[in-house]
Each structure stands twice: as structure tokens, then as C-alpha cells.
Amino acid sequence: MVRVVDINCDMGESFGRYTLGQDGLIVKFISSANVACGFHAGDPIVMDETVRLVAENGIGCGAHPGFPDLLGFGRREMMLSSREIRASVIYQLGALSGFAGRYGIRLQHVKPHGALYNMAARDYRVARAVAEAVACFDHRLILLCPAGSEMARAGREVGLCSASEVFADRAYESDGTLVRRSEPGSVIDHPDEVAERVLGIVMHGRVRTRDGGELKVSPDSICIHGDTPGAPALAERIRKVLLDFGVSVEPLGGFLRC
Amino acid sequence: MVRVVDINCDMGESFGRYTLGQDGLIVKFISSANVACGFHAGDPIVMDETVRLVAENGIGCGAHPGFPDLLGFGRREMMLSSREIRASVIYQLGALSGFAGRYGIRLQHVKPHGALYNMAARDYRVARAVAEAVACFDHRLILLCPAGSEMARAGREVGLCSASEVFADRAYESDGTLVRRSEPGSVIDHPDEVAERVLGIVMHGRVRTRDGGELKVSPDSICIHGDTPGAPALAERIRKVLLDFGVSVEPLGGFLRC
Amino acid sequence: MVRVVDINCDMGESFGRYTLGQDGLIVKFISSANVACGFHAGDPIVMDETVRLVAENGIGCGAHPGFPDLLGFGRREMMLSSREIRASVIYQLGALSGFAGRYGIRLQHVKPHGALYNMAARDYRVARAVAEAVACFDHRLILLCPAGSEMARAGREVGLCSASEVFADRAYESDGTLVRRSEPGSVIDHPDEVAERVLGIVMHGRVRTRDGGELKVSPDSICIHGDTPGAPALAERIRKVLLDFGVSVEPLGGFLRC
Amino acid sequence: MVRVVDINCDMGESFGRYTLGQDGLIVKFISSANVACGFHAGDPIVMDETVRLVAENGIGCGAHPGFPDLLGFGRREMMLSSREIRASVIYQLGALSGFAGRYGIRLQHVKPHGALYNMAARDYRVARAVAEAVACFDHRLILLCPAGSEMARAGREVGLCSASEVFADRAYESDGTLVRRSEPGSVIDHPDEVAERVLGIVMHGRVRTRDGGELKVSPDSICIHGDTPGAPALAERIRKVLLDFGVSVEPLGGFLRC
């Protein structure tokens, strides 16, 4: 048996004069990129450069649509109607696709960003609007979301192939949700601990929760973060530990069966 | 011999709570729509509704990309680099295409908006950046621009099919440029005068200039404006006068030979 | 005994090319204006013109700060931290004050807009952040809010003078909250009915609720809306009916005792 | 005779999730800050924190208004009418003043940012609009601008006190204008060279130009840049070399005579 998993990371989060992340480094260690689409981060030039980088490195190109809130980096919940969500997601998918076409690639997946991701994970109405937008834009797109979430359910209902992800560097509650960023211990930054968690997730199908229990997981993708100073080194470490244990790291589109 | 001409009009210029234009009425009388893409006007819901309206009425769907300046309605010149122009245009074409796909249609043409249109008409660098963006997004798109402009030249150079337009309700200088909006007499609003001009343009290939001379024209499309109170009636009048004189009104994509 | 009441209305909600409301007409019939500050509506030129209009007509000038969401017209709830709310409100009050200074007037009051108003009315944390921002900007400002709301409570706590308002053309639930805009009958648009309600409110201190009951009210100000076609006529009618019954219509700042 | 000069630096250029500059370090070495006002950079929270930092360090607080172009960081020229410029500047001055009031300080000066600065330096119409806005907002504000510029002229005409500045780390043409950023050698980044230039400017009243000639200068303020990695060290170096040569570094408002 061959184990295979995807590593996904947000990319293209710079904006104009503002640089965020170390995309040029991190792209070497991941297999799928979630590219910001200009609403919560990213701008046309950043998107163009990011898609080119993704294409040159042969990794999966995903859209990372968010709320229209650059100031809040898409992390503030906004109460949008289903129509507003649908139209906003289609707009962002279309915009990113323009650049994908330029570099001869197709979008592989969609992963909502920040507050939109969190709301779609737990709120069926939001999840459904996101899933409908993705399906109507291109029904071959993979919806990347938490296992067992409302988003996974909505994706299934509209006929999308969905992939599940686990966060390598975020603490989990016993119910499978992420510990909120505002709470202490929500982000795990020690490389050894992250590497150990990744192995536990991929090799044993489990991750320890904040209260000391264990969560069963079987992710298609490991999510890592790219906007911390040590992110490239951490990504390299995670990739190496997986390869060392015989796990192949590949883009979702290459191995996912729906 | 059968005469045929296109009538184009800007559409989808509303934004959120703000309504502009009478798209539902005007769509009945035109054959091609220039749809705002969210930078100078339009938003995802407005774009979705506008493309649906265009698709339902079977007219040509064009992208109307502009400067990222909602406050100035894209009418203020901005000094963007060629890279910025290219990326901005690709972004907007992609975004609009997302909605076109939803309604089973393809984009027919691209016509830059406002200050971007004016700059691309006279400045080769800007024109070239616009043309390159359009060609790299989809080389089958028609570039709609003033005859003899730098935009027409740049379009030709990059292998695009371009269509020429004349404004039905704007006064011309003797050099073929438009009389600036800030000057008196720049907009012709009497329906009789507009109708007479349109006939002169289409039947005789000429339009009177501000200084009393005549300009030779041979447009593929007549541009009308939709954001004035009497616009729908004027559009109906223009269409009727053309039909009465045996001129067929059809979308550019149906008759243009490149 | 002399009865006196204020009539307040939102103003300055245009933006760039987009015109909303009939400020030049409605200003004749109201005594206090809530001027948009550029976040949910309004722009620097619109603010300048609106403040000039307010100053020339000698009515009270209020700030109408909202969420940074032009697309949603400030009507979509956004989850902002208290710091974000405070800073956003101070920014908007400052910006508007710049124009007030130009025309030799001072701001009279502050009334949050849309979703910020609704959230501050029911959520103490939001209310407190708004009230603190107002008090720290200028403690002499009047906070205009629903009677008995969390906003009124927070205003009191930080030492602000608050004024209560009743909506002339909005239906009320039996608990004193507004019937949501998305529900039928939420907006009352028949002038006779609105006029009758205003009289009931001012002369008898009560307003009928949706379920047929009655709500006791004793407002300092009557809120009317300016963005409907018949708004100026309705405002004129309300003012006239009040004057006919001997009620004086004056700016809040002139009669409120704190 | 006592020599005294101001050192000014842009501050508060972060935005939301994006951090720019090292304000907490650089504030120790300068005497006046130009604080971004939310149009080209800065947001309400950043402005609040920046003004607090400025107030705590007892340096002069200046407004740094720019074009409404966050994406272009205010560095792209935009064709605004005089009315648009005036209103935009008043808006930004007002917004920043709101925070100044919170920390018990007054604004000391105004220095336009980026493309607005460059245009106001050379184009009298733009300069006049900026100067009128500043004068009508608060005629005691100092206008910080290049010596001999159209901005200095316009400031004088409207009765403002203006201060002249020289850039420590930017190369000059022989006509006194800055070498454009896009050209090689436009930015001087070697600390020794910058320090030497500063001494030449302050002690001898001259600065070498790109073509090898010399420019006579007599600045009230030395402008340094804060958004490069070595900026704080460079600022410290400049301050030290001035103090070593007996030059006092003080906020403009303390020594300028108009």
C-alpha cells in the first residue's frame, strides 16, 4: 500500500506595497496552493505572479475566496445573504481563472478563507451557497474543507468532490473544531511538536485535542501556514518527515477519488 | 447589399445600494452590452444579474474593464504601469467570465471604460497593455475601440479582431476625438438630432464635427449611453430609425469579419 | 406647556457617480441630519456639500458612522473588536468634523448607521465601544439611539447625553425592536398612516405594534427616511401635522436637558 | 548662533494584517512624524496607535494625506479636480485630528504623500487645492514641502507657514527635483554617504546632484525613510552626526518663524 497526502498552504496574500508570506520558498515544499483572489488579500499583480509560481512548480492551484474585507484580512465574520456569497465566490473564482488560463493550468480546488471558511464549516446556509457557487462555476473543482463539516455535506449535495484537511499547526477542540486564534495555545509553533502531530495524523489517523483526548482523522491534505517567519523551514520539515516515513506528497487532484 | 450595424451600451453600472441606468429597458434595443466588472462600477450581484439579462435577451456580452476607482467611476486618469494594466484587465475579464459561464454564454468583446478607454485610444503604451491582456485571456475576443486609435493599432498588432465605434450622442472634434465632457455641447441630447446623426453615420458614413466640418466614419457599432433619464426612449428611436432605413441591428460577433 | 420634538433624517448618502436621496428638498423639513462619513456611504465631496447644506439651513449636524462596507451600505453585520469599533468611529467623527469646521458649525450628535446601530442597540459590548469613541472624541456630543437600548445605557455610563428616537415609518414589535426590513409590513409608506403614527407618538406617547398592542414612547426625535421617492412630501406632511398640533420642531441640541 | 533642524519621517503606514516600517524604533530618532490617514496607507487602529506613539515621544504630529489608492500606495498619479483634492485633504486631516485630540495633542504640520506630493510640488493647481484645504482646516498648520516648489508658493499665498525639506537618502537632479524612483541611483542607501550628505546639507547648505553639480539648500527639515530594513540605524546615525556637530534636532513647530 502506498500512502499519499497533499500539503496545502495559503499563498498570494501580499497586496500592493505590502508583502506577506514567503511564497517563493514555501512553494518548494507544498503540493497545493490556496491563492487569495483580491477580496481579503491579493491584487491582480500578486495573483498573476502567484499563479505563475504555482504553475512553474507544478503544484495544484486552488482558489481561496474570502469576504470583501481587506482591512480585516477576511477574518471578521460578515452577514452576507446566500446570493451575495454565491456571487462573491463566482467573481473570485473567475478572476483567478483568468490568470490560470494565462499560464496554461486549470484550477484544482477551492478553499474558502478565514471567516468564510469558519462560517461555511459550521453553518449549512453559508456552506450551501459556497458549494453552489463552486459547482456552477466548474463542477470538477475539489472543495477543500474540514472532514464532517457542513461544507463537506453541502459539497456532497451539489455533486462536488470534496477533500478533507487537518491543520498541522493549530490546536483542536474535542469536537473537531479549531481552538480560536484568540485563545492561548491555539497555534502550535514548535517544529518538533508540529512534525510529531503530522506523523500521528498521517500514520495513525489521530490528533491530540486540547483537553488531552484524541480525534480520529483521515485527511486528504495537511494545511500549513505560510505567514510566520519560520514557515518555510517548518514546511520543509513536515515534507521531509512524511517522505522519511514513506508518505508521498502530491497534489489533491492527482490521487483523490470521488 | 445588406447593411448591418451593432448598437452597444454600457450596462451593469449599479453598485450595492446604488442603482444606475435602466438596464432592463435598454437591453431591448441594443445588440451588445459592455458590462462593468467591479472596479469602476458593478459588484458581483449586479454582474450576475446583468449577464443573466444579457443572456436572456440574446445580445452580445462584452467586458467593460476600468480603473480601480469606484469613487471616480473610472473617469479619472490614473498612471498605471503596463503590468498593472495587464493584470487589472485580466482580473476583470476573468471575473465577468465566471458569470458568463453560469448562463451558458461566452464573452463577445472587450471595451475599456472611461479614462482607461480614453488613454488607450491615444497612448500606445496603455493600448498595448490592454490589447495584450485581452489577447492572452482569449484571443477570440473582439476589441471595441475608436477607428484609427492607438487601441485599434495595438489590437491589430497582437492579433485581435477589432471593431470600431462611433458615439451617437457625443460631439466630435475635427480630429476624430470626442469633445471633452466638461465642455458645452459635448453631449447631444435632443433625440431628433441624435437620430439624424446616426443615419448620417450609418447611411452616408459621415458625422458633423463641432467646427462645422465632416468626419468620415464607417463604424461597426454605434455607442449609446444608458445612464440618462431618456436613454431607453432614445435607444428605441435609434433602433427604429435604423430598421426603417433597412439597416439590420446585430451583435458584433455575428457579422464582423477579421 | 410647549411640546417640542426633533425630526432627524439620514443625509449625504450619495457616493461619487451615485446619487441617493433628495437632500436639498428634505433638509427644509427636518431639524437634525445624520451625515454619512464615507465608510458605508458618502465621500469627501458629498460630505462637504452635505455639511454646507446643513449649515445653511441651520439644522443640527450629526455624524452617522457605519461599518466599512460600502458594498453592503453598512447594513451587513460585521464582527469587529471593540478596538476596531472605537477607532472606526473616531476616524469618522474626525473626518466629518473637518467639514463642520469649514462651515463654522460644531457636530451636534452621533447616530450609528445600519448594522452598527442595530448591534449597538442590543449588544452592550458594541454599544460601549461606540459610546466610548463618542465620549473621547467630544463628550458634549449627543448620542441618538432607541430608548431603553444598550446604546442608551452605555451612553449614560460614559457620561454622554443621549436622546431617544422613534421611527415614523417603521413597524415595531411588541418588545420595542423594529420589524426586520426583510419582513412584509416592516416599512409603512402610506403618508396618512405615518402622519397618524407620528401624532400618536408625540401627542399620546404611544405607537401601535405589529401584533396590535401598544408601546409607550416618549421620543426626543422622530426619525424619517430620505431615500424613498416620496420622502420629501412625507417629511413636509409630518412637519406640518406637528406644527398644526402645536408641536415645535427643533434641533436636539436646542432643547435636550441631560 | 544655534543651528536647529527637524527630522521628519513617514509613519503609520501599516494596514490591517499588513505591517510596514518600524515605527516604534524610528520614533526615537526623529522630531516630526508624517502620519498616513487611511487613503494610501494606515487604518483607524494604526492611526490611533501611531498618534499615541507620537504623543508619548513628544515629537511633532503631521498629517500625511494621499490619493485614495491603497493598492498603489498613493504613488500613482491620479487626475483629481481641485474640489476633489480639497475635500479629500480636509477629510484626511479631520480623521487624523480625531486621534490627535484623543491623546491631547494638536497637529503640527501637513505633508502630502507620494504622487500627491510630487504633483503639488510641480503643478500649481494641485498645490493650490492642497494649500486651501490645509488653510481652511486650520490655518496654524505648517505646510512641509520642497523649497521653491509650487506647493511652497501656494502655501504662502493662502497664508500658511511653510517649511522646506531635503531628502537625506534621495538623489537630486540639478533642477532641484528628485531623481525618479524608477531610475538607478535614485535612493542612496549607504549610511556613510547619507550621513555625509546630511552634514553637507545642514552645515554647508548644499547637496551634490546627480550630474556632479551642487544645489544650494537651507532646509527646515531633513526627510528620512522608515520603510527599509536599516532605517532605524540610519535615523540614529543621522541624528547622532547632527548632534555631534552641534545641531539641535527639534520639531518644526518649536523653531519655525513665519
Give A68's DSSP letter: S
Mean pLDDT of C233-251: 95
Whether the predicted pLDDT of C176 surpasses 90: no
Q: pLDDT confidence of B180, banded at 50, 70, 90? A: confident
- Which chain B residues are within 8 Å of D115, Cβ to Cβ? 79
Mutation target for D interface from B71, B82, B83, B182: give the one with most D CBs within 10 A: B71
Who among D48, D96, D136 is closest to C102 (CB)?
D136
Mean pLDDT of B21-40: 97
Neighbours of chain A (3+ CB pairs under 8 A): B, C, D
Contacts of D194 (CB under 8 A, 6+ apart): D168, D169, D188, D234, D237, D238
**What's the Cα-to-Cα distance from A16 to each of A43, A81, B114, D64, D69, rounded to whole Å?**
7, 30, 23, 19, 10
Whether the predicted pLDDT of B186 surpasses 80: yes
Q: pLDDT confidence of A163, banded at 50, 70, 90? A: very high
- Report strand pairing: C3-11 vs C221-224: parallel
**What's the Cα-to-Cα distance from A190 to each of A135, A165, A197, A249, D209, rounded to whole Å?**
38, 20, 11, 22, 52
Mutation target for C interface from D37, D52, D81, D90: give the one with most C CBs within 10 A: D90
- Which chain C residues are within 8 Å of B66, Cβ to Cβ? none
Who among B16, B70, B75 is closest to C73 (CB)?
B16
Grid look-up 510640488 returns D121
Percentage with pLDDT > 90 across chain B: 87
3-state secondary structure of C226: coil
Q: How far apart are the C-alpha atoms of B144 and C225, rounded to whole Å?
A: 43
**What's the Cα-to-Cα distance from C122 to each of A28, C92, C115, C118, C147, rounded to whole Å?**
50, 22, 11, 7, 11
Contacts of A162 (CB under 8 A, 6+ apart): A142, A143, A144, A145, A151, A152, A155, A156, A258
pLDDT of residue A12: 98
A257: closest CA of chain B, how far (Å): 26
**Residue B245 near residue B203 (C-beta atoms within 8 A):** yes
Give C179's DSSP letter: P
As a whole number, the mean pLDDT across chain D is: 95
Q: Which domain holds residue A203?
A: 4-255
Mean pLDDT of B36-43: 98
Query: B90 and A137 in contact by Cβ < 8 A?
Result: no
Query: D77 and B79 in contact by Cβ < 8 A?
Result: yes
In three-state form (DSSP H/G/I as H, E/B as E, the rest C), the secondary structure along chain B is CCEEEEEEEEECCCECCECCCCHHHHCCCCCEEEEECCCCCCCHHHHHHHHHHHHHCCCEEEEECCCCCCCCCCCCCECCCHHHHHHHHHHHHHHHHHHHHHCCCCCCEECCCHHHHHHHHHCHHHHHHHHHHHHHHCCCCEEEEECCCHHHHHHHHCCCEEEEEEECCECECCCCCECCCCCCCCECCCHHHHHHHHHHHHHHCEEECCCCCEEECCCCEEEECCCCCCHHHHHHHHHHHHHHCCEEECCHHHHCCC
- Report strand pairing: A247-249 vs B247-249: unpaired
Query: For B191-232, what is each residue's pLDDT tens digit?
Result: 899 999 999 999 999 999 999 999 999 999 999 998 888 899
**What's the Cα-to-Cα distance from B96 to each of A49, A82, A98, B103, rounded to whole Å?**
21, 19, 10, 11
Model pTM score: 0.96
Taking residue B158's Cβ as centre, other Cβ atoms within 10 Å add up to 17
pLDDT of residue B223: 96
Query: B17 and C16 in contact by Cβ < 8 A?
Result: no
- Which chain A residues are within 8 Å of B138, Cβ to Cβ? 101
pLDDT of residue C1: 52
More confident residue, C187 or A41: A41
C-alpha cell at A68: 470583501
- Which chain D residues are within 8 Å of A71, Cβ to Cβ? 15-16, 43
Type of residue at A85: I
Who among C38, C88, C90 is closest to D102 (CB)?
C90
Chain B with chain D: Cβ pairs closer than 8 A? 29
**Residue C71 near residue B15 (C-beta atoms within 8 A):** yes
- Residue of chain A whose Cα is closest to the Cα of B88: A44
Alpha helix segments (H runs only) across A57-163: 82-102, 114-122, 124-137, 150-157
- Which chain A residues are within 8 Å of B97, Cβ to Cβ? 94, 97-98
Per the structure, the count of domains in chain B is 1
Grid look-up 487602529 returns D45
Who among B17, B43, B70 is closest to C20 (CB)?
B17
Whether the predicted pLDDT of A8 surpasses 80: yes
- Which chain D residues are within 8 Å of C48, Cβ to Cβ? 86-87, 90
Who among D16, D43, D73 is closest to A17 (CB)?
D73
Query: B44 and A97 in contact by Cβ < 8 A?
Result: no
Give A100's DSSP letter: H
Chain A with chain B: Cβ pairs closer than 8 A? 77
pLDDT of residue C2: 65
Chain B residues with CB within 8 Å of chain C CB: 13, 15-18, 20, 41, 43, 70-73, 75
pLDDT of residue B2: 65
Query: For D88-124, what is each residue's pLDDT tens digit?
Result: 999 999 999 999 999 999 999 999 999 999 999 999 9
Whether the predicted pLDDT of C236 surpasses 60: yes
Chain C residues with CB within 8 Å of chain A CB: 68-69, 71-72, 76-80, 84, 115
- Residue of chain A whose Cα is closest to the Cα of C71: A68
C-alpha cell at A128: 450551501
- Which chain D residues are within 8 Å of A70, Cβ to Cβ? 15-16, 70
- Which chain C residues are within 8 Å of D97, Cβ to Cβ? 94, 97-98
Who among D72, D80, D115 is closest to B76 (CB)?
D80
How many alpha carbons lie under 13 Å from residue A104 in its C-beta half-sphere? 4
Whether the predicted pLDDT of C238 surpasses 80: yes
Chain A residues with CB within 8 Å of chain B CB: 38, 43-45, 47-48, 83-84, 86-88, 90-99, 101-102, 136-138
Mean pLDDT of B156-172: 95
Grid look-up 402645536 returns C246
- Which chain C residues are within 8 Å of A68, Cβ to Cβ? 69, 71
Candidates A4, A50, A16, A82; CA nearest to A253 is A4
pLDDT of residue C177: 85
Percentage with pLDDT > 90 across chain D: 87
- Report strand pairing: A206-208 vs A214-216: antiparallel
Q: In which element (H, E) is residue C35 found?
A: strand C32-36
Contacts of B202 (CB under 8 A, 6+ apart): B3, B5, B219, B222, B242, B245, B247
- Which chain D residues are within 8 Å of A76, Cβ to Cβ? none
3-state secondary structure of C213: coil
CA end-to-end distance (rounded Å), chain D: 19
- Which chain C residues are within 8 Å of B75, Cβ to Cβ? 17
Candidates A204, A140, A217, A143; CA nearest to A176 is A217
Mean pLDDT of B4-23: 97
More confident residue, A249 or D257: A249
Who among A68, A77, A80 is closest to C79 (CB)?
A77
Query: B16 and C72 in contact by Cβ < 8 A?
Result: yes
C-alpha cell at D195: 550621513
A69: closest CA of chain D, how far (Å): 10
Q: How far apart are the C-alpha atoms of C17 and B72, rounded to whole Å?
A: 7
Query: B94 and A90 in contact by Cβ < 8 A?
Result: no
Chain B with chain C: Cβ pairs closer than 8 A? 30
Mutation target for D interface from A71, A113, A227: give the one with most D CBs within 10 A: A71
- The CATH number that applies at residue B107 is 3.20.20.370
| Least confident piece of the model among A43-47, B15-19, C175-179 | C175-179
pLDDT of residue B189: 82
As a whole number, the mean pLDDT across chain B is: 95
- Which chain D residues are within 8 Å of C86, Cβ to Cβ? 48
Q: pLDDT confidence of A67, banded at 50, 70, 90? A: very high
- Residue of chain A whose Cα is closest to the Cα of D41: A17
Mutation target for A interface from D13, D46, D71: give the one with most A CBs within 10 A: D71
Chain B residues with CB within 8 Å of chain A CB: 38, 43-45, 47-48, 83-84, 86-88, 90-99, 101-102, 136-138
How many alpha carbons lie under 13 Å from residue C155 in its C-beta half-sphere? 27
| Least confident piece of the model among A123-132, A170-179, D64-73 | A170-179
Query: D17 and A20 in contact by Cβ < 8 A?
Result: yes
B6: closest CA of chain A, how far (Å): 27
Query: For D163-206, what is each residue's pLDDT tens digit?
Result: 999 999 999 999 888 898 888 889 898 889 999 999 999 999 99
Q: How far apart are the C-alpha atoms of C48 and C38, rounded to whole Å?
A: 11
pLDDT of residue A175: 87
Contacts of B44 (CB under 8 A, 6+ apart): A84, A87, A88, A90, A91, B38, B95
Candidates A40, A110, A68, C15; CA nearest to B44 is A68
D100: closest CA of chain C, how far (Å): 10
Type of residue at B112: P
**Residue C120 near residue C112 (C-beta atoms within 8 A):** yes
Who among B44, B88, B96 is closest to A88 (CB)?
B44
- Residue of chain B whose Cα is closest to the Cα of A135: B102
Q: How far apart are the C-alpha atoms of C110 and C141, rounded to whole Å?
A: 7
C33: closest CA of chain B, how far (Å): 20
